[in-house]
């Protein structure tokens, strides 16, 4: 087992991570190329990305072209630089320790590195782990006293199995994680939309005010946009801890943090936080 963000990752899941992070054909965004490079933009291939590759490179808009390593290295240095500008899952030489850094000196564009499968195999999984861990605090599920997991069993029968795990694919999100923790069968595997989540919330929880119950299990934290649409959700576990999944991406784990850490991590302009108690007691 490999440990990432305090979470055990199996060899089979790690193998899939490598394929999503460093696919043989990789996407490069072309609609952001400035005018001077428009004529030099590569033709490449048009492929349908998997959900995991889409999330790796944040392919949420724009025009993309797919290139394999031989095609990319044949482009001029200036075009390669333009294609790598603000590209996700692209390495920087300074992020590597000196030993793997020597292995990439001849395989980069200025200080930026495309993680082709052959190169990732040479340097090891450090770049992959850096990508997954970037900006994310480790899960604290191991700090929770084992006796605490029995406390929320009635309200949250699925929480112990979810805490400190990675989903096997992209798709499972915060809403499904909360519902699965509360015992909804199969919710941990779904990209749960706001509609079903709101229906479940209205049926199984009541709105409460204030922070007085943040230390008990079963308080659903819901962040809403100005139009009232739910944007994110988490659920308190017990003893001041909460379970959340920051996004639907494969690299986003089901994390246990303190309630305060969970709230701070989801603090974005325009969102308001509300609380709902499962069971209404």
Greater pLDDT, 38 or 85? 85
Mean pLDDT, to the nearest integer, of 33-48?
A: 73
Check residue 214 and report its DSSP letter: T
Give the pLDDT confidence of 238-269 residue by residue, as tens digits.
889 999 999 999 999 999 999 999 999 999 99
Q: Which helix (H) or strand (E) holds 97?
A: none
- Per-residue model confidence as pLDDT tens digits over 154-166: 889 999 999 999 9
CA gap 250, 13 in Å, rounded: 10
CATH architecture of 141-278: Alpha-Beta Complex (3.90)
- Binned at pLDDT 50, 70 and 90, residue 16 comes out as very high
Query: Which residue ranges does the chain devote to CATH 3.90.1720?
Result: 141-278
Q: CA torsion sign, 166 to 171 to 175 to 178?
A: negative
Tokens matching residue 147: 């006796």
pLDDT recorded at residue 5: 98
Can you read off the two tokens belonging to residue 50?
């998997």
């Amino acid at each position: 087992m490999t440990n990432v963000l305090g979470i055990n990752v199996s060899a089979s899941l790690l193998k899939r991570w490598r394929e999503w992070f460093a696919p043989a054909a990789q996407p490069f965004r072309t609609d952001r190329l400035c005018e001077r490079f428009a004529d030099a933009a590569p033709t490449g291939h048009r492929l349908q990305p998997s959900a995991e590759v889409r999330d790796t490179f944040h392919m949420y808009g724009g025009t993309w072209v797919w290139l394999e390593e031989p095609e990319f290295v044949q482009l001029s240095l200036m075009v390669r630089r333009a294609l790598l500008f603000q590209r996700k899952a692209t390495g920087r030489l300074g992020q590597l320790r000196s030993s793997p850094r020597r292995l990439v000196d001849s395989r980069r564009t200025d200080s930026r590195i495309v993680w082709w499968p052959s190169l990732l195999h040479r340097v090891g999984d450090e770049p992959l782990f850096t990508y997954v861990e970037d900006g994310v605090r480790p899960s604290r599920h191991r700090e929770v006293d084992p006796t605490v997991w029995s406390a929320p069993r009635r309200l949250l029968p699925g929480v112990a199995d979810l805490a400190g795990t990675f989903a096997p694919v992209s798709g499972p999100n915060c809403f499904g994680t909360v519902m699965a923790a509360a015992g909804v069968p199969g919710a941990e595997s779904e990209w749960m939309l706001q509609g079903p989540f709101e229906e479940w919330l209205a049926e199984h929880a009541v709105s409460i005010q204030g922070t007085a119950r943040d230390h008990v299990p079963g308080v659903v934290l819901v962040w809403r946009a100005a139009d009232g649409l739910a944007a994110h959700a988490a659920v308190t576990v017990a003893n001041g801890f909460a379970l959340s999944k920051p996004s639907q991406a494969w690299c986003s784990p089901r994390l246990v943090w303190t309630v305060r850490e969970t709230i701070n991590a989801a603090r974005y302009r325009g969102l308001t936080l509300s609380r709902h108690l499962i069971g209404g007691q």
